[in-house]
Structure 1
Amino acid sequence: MKKWSVMLSVLLVLTLVLAACGGKKEPAAGAGNNSGSKAAAKTVRLGIFKNVTHAPGYVALEQGLFKKYWGENVKVDVTAFDNGSDFSTALATDQIDLGFVGPGPSTNQFLKSKNFRIISGSNNGGAVLVAGKDSGINSVKELAGKTVAIPTKGSTNEISLRLLLQQNNLKVTTDKTGVQIIARAPADTLIAMRQKEIDATLIPEPWGTQMEQEGIGKIITPWDQIPPNNGNYPLTILVASDKFLKDNRELAKGAIKANADAIDFIKKNPEKAYEQVNNQLKALSGKGMDTSLIKAALSHLNLTTDVDKAAIEEMAKVSIDAGYIKDVKKEDLDLSKFLDLSLLNEVKQGK
């Protein structure tokens, strides 16, 4: 009897242990629970210039439009750039995910890396040709033998300048037989103009207006006469890396919506937009700008989400002639993969 008693006791213990193990099930992988935990936070790295021609991006940041479409769980990490070459390199090397840039340097970089796309327009035009007040220059033809500054080599502004010179049968040279082009950041160009170290500059607004207001320069070619298309050419576009588009198409669509909303706001509320642009300019560059200059700049911009592929191709051919795009012949140029406007079209259709 003792033996049976012991065996029954052992069986009873084993039964209780097995019941305990089977009675408590682990939640299936990915199953929800009542902890209320949120999805892991995400950071989107946005690039933008310290320039008023990027006004839609400024307003979108100031009004929190990116977070509106991305959600509160997405952090916006903003990097401010001085020129398109640095921006395009950062985008191609996965230092930023998307942002605002000019077509000149971004096209040059795309043809090298082929790993990012244009997803929307933002602003057409906004650059002017300014000559020194005492330079004696009153027309483009009088730039022969003179020195003209542009923000950076290969920039959209340099491409416009080269087209303008071509229209007037002027050549770019390194001596006084033609027009000499030098690169200076806009702030440095302002100083150079004050000190009469340059004869002229093709520069984005509001720098041209500032030179004119200071009495050191005069605008000899207004923004709506700058080629191509008399000012109606892409100066600021929204681009995104292939990796970001593959993994975050809804976030990319949200950025397009934020840009479009900001454009709409600026057009309907220009007076309010001046302050918002200035707030972001202070945050990004550490220095604000007189409201009259911001007003002048915005009046010289054609804000639009549309993208003129033909104009970008025309500018790319100028870059090929200038030697900025190598190993590509003009007749072989193909930028069809550089533009992915599918998300923009969805936004326009209300999707």
Structure 2
Amino acid sequence: MRTGRPSYKCNRLQIRQVGFNSVWPGSKMRTLTPNTTKLIELVGKFCGRVRCWRAALTHNIAFFAGSLRKQLVRCAPPLLTVHSSVLLPSFLILILAGCRENSKSPSGAGVVRVGFLQNITHAQALIAYQRGDFTAALRSTGFDCTMQAFQAGPAIIEAIYAGHLDVAYVGPIPALNGYLRSRGQEIRLLSGAAENGTVVIGNPRRNIRKLEDLCGRRVATPQMGNTQDLAARYFLGAAGTACRSQKSADIVPIAPSDIEILMAKDQLDGAWVPEPWGSQLVTKGTGVLLTEEKSLWPDGRTPLTVVIARKKFAEEHRDIVSALLDCHTSLTLELRANKESLVPVLSEAMHRLTHKPFPESLVASSLERIEFTTSAHREGLERLVLIARQLRYMPKNAVRLDDFFLAQTGQTVTTDKQSP
């Protein structure tokens, strides 16, 4: 195994909720069968990087499952043992395919792969996805751009680890966690993108009217290990201010699109989500706004979206990184100057990604709670690291956080008051 690469225990492999939701939705952590574990251990040794097959397993199994998703939910564990002669060779091919280093596009052409989440808090990426801004910005460099939407941040980090993404918009917790777990070898911060924009929603049918009412209740977050998940566990946990004298809330990671369904069915007490999912719950009458997360922090600010890059890509393609950052800054300034004119673009982008109508009124209400910026808000990020380590989200290693803020263009990432 290469020095500095993130490592994982293989003798008793468990796939975390981070990527496992794609095959077994809503399930708890599961343990693979001994035969499958042995096979994956051998593949991991053969590849020389254990992180590689872990990421490949997360993403390639989801692709391999495809239309068989419902059947896998009911019978995947038996299939892995009884019919291993059929499935395990397929797993081997998929995993080995994921072990290839992807510093270039699969076709060999000059393509920059950008990941983002289908949230209004990633508005710069949504606009670029809909209008083709990144493609236009890279035209002079001879590179093209492909963009891929993800459900939550941890999956983006896994894709970067596997070499499947070059640049990404992601929440600060997955970004920092990915940096620290790789001992600073995989990820670099390029810019800030958005602050605030996270809301806490209560179920009115269960008489949830204030934040304290969620103590001891069932609260949904977009995914285990993402920024909202950490905030919910901190403020509604034993160490938080809301539930110190009460039972901690039961935090349940659920995909944002499924949160709306479960709230409508009265199966959740609340949700801790980014926009537009909070405004959607309020608009449809399935939830009430309890508070904005920013009001819970001492300075009334919380970093929500940052732009990161795969370290190797940023070092080898500084001109491309610079072109993307210039485009990102232009989009940020456009959002700050005239959000209203961009509402139709964002509405169309969300409709295109989710295959569901997103009214412009919903997008407009979401934008009111978000502050778009290129600031990295270093103080807020360092605060999140302390909390994440307290909750055992991040390793307590001696990796210098300073290197995370060093842009690969040779300059320090813009912080706070320096940003537009």
Give the TM-score, by structure 2 length: 0.67
The reply on whether 1:200 has 2:273 as its aligned counterpart is no
* 3-state secondary structure, aligned to 1:95: coil
Q: 1: distance between equivalents of 2:222 and 2:296?
A: 16
Residue matched to 2:241: 168
* Residue type at the aligned position of 1:219: L
Superposed CA deviations along residues 75-127 of structure 1, whole A, max 9, x for unmatched, are 11111111111001111221110010001112112111221111100111111
**Cα distance, 1:261 vs structure 2:** 0.8
Residue matched to 1:323: 392
Q: Among 238, 254, 262, which residue is 2:323 paired with?
A: 254
Give 5+ residue unaligned stretches, structure 2.
Answer: 1-107
Superposed CA deviations along residues 158-217 of structure 1, whole A, max 9, x for unmatched, are 222234334425269xxx932111101111111111111111111111211121122221
**Cα distance, 1:338 vs structure 2:** 1.5
* Residue type at the aligned position of 2:248: G
The reply on whether 1:299 has 2:374 as its aligned counterpart is no
Match runs of 1:231-310 below 5 Å: 232-310=301-379
Identity %: 25
Q: 1:228 to 1:128 in 2, by over 3 A?
A: farther
Q: Among 196, 211, 214, which residue is 1:140 paired with?
A: 211
Residue matched to 2:134: 66
* Residue type at the aligned position of 2:324: A
Give the TM-score, by structure 1 length: 0.79
The reply on whether 1:91 has 2:125 as its aligned counterpart is no
Q: 1:204 to 1:169 in 2, by over 3 A?
A: closer
Q: 2: distance between equivalents of 1:314 and 1:224?
A: 14
* Residue type at the aligned position of 2:117: F
Match runs of 1:30-69 below 5 Å: 41-69=109-137
**Cα distance, 1:224 vs structure 2:** 3.8
Residue matched to 1:216: 286
Q: 1:132 to 1:77 in 2, by over 3 A?
A: same
The answer to whether the Cα contact below 8 Å between 1:129 and 1:222 also exists between their aligned partners in 2 is: yes
Q: 2: distance between equivalents of 1:140 and 1:221?
A: 7
* Residue type at the aligned position of 2:200: L
The answer to whether the Cα contact below 8 Å between 1:129 and 1:219 also exists between their aligned partners in 2 is: yes
* Residue type at the aligned position of 1:121: G
Bigger Cα Rg: 1
* 3-state secondary structure, aligned to 2:403: coil
* Residue type at the aligned position of 1:80: A
- The structure, 1 or 2, with the larger RCO (C-alpha pairs under 8 Å, 6+ apart) is 1
Q: 1: distance between equivalents of 2:158 and 2:111?
A: 20
**Cα distance, 1:61 vs structure 2:** 3.2
Q: 2: distance between equivalents of 1:345 and 1:227?
A: 29
Give 5+ residue unaligned stretches, structure 1.
Answer: 1-39
Superposed CA deviations along residues 125-175 of structure 1, whole A, max 9, x for unmatched, are 111001001222222222222111111111111222234334425269xxx
Q: 1:94 to 1:82 in 2, by over 3 A?
A: same
Q: 2: distance between equivalents of 1:241 and 1:53?
A: 21
Q: 2: distance between equivalents of 1:57 and 1:226?
A: 27
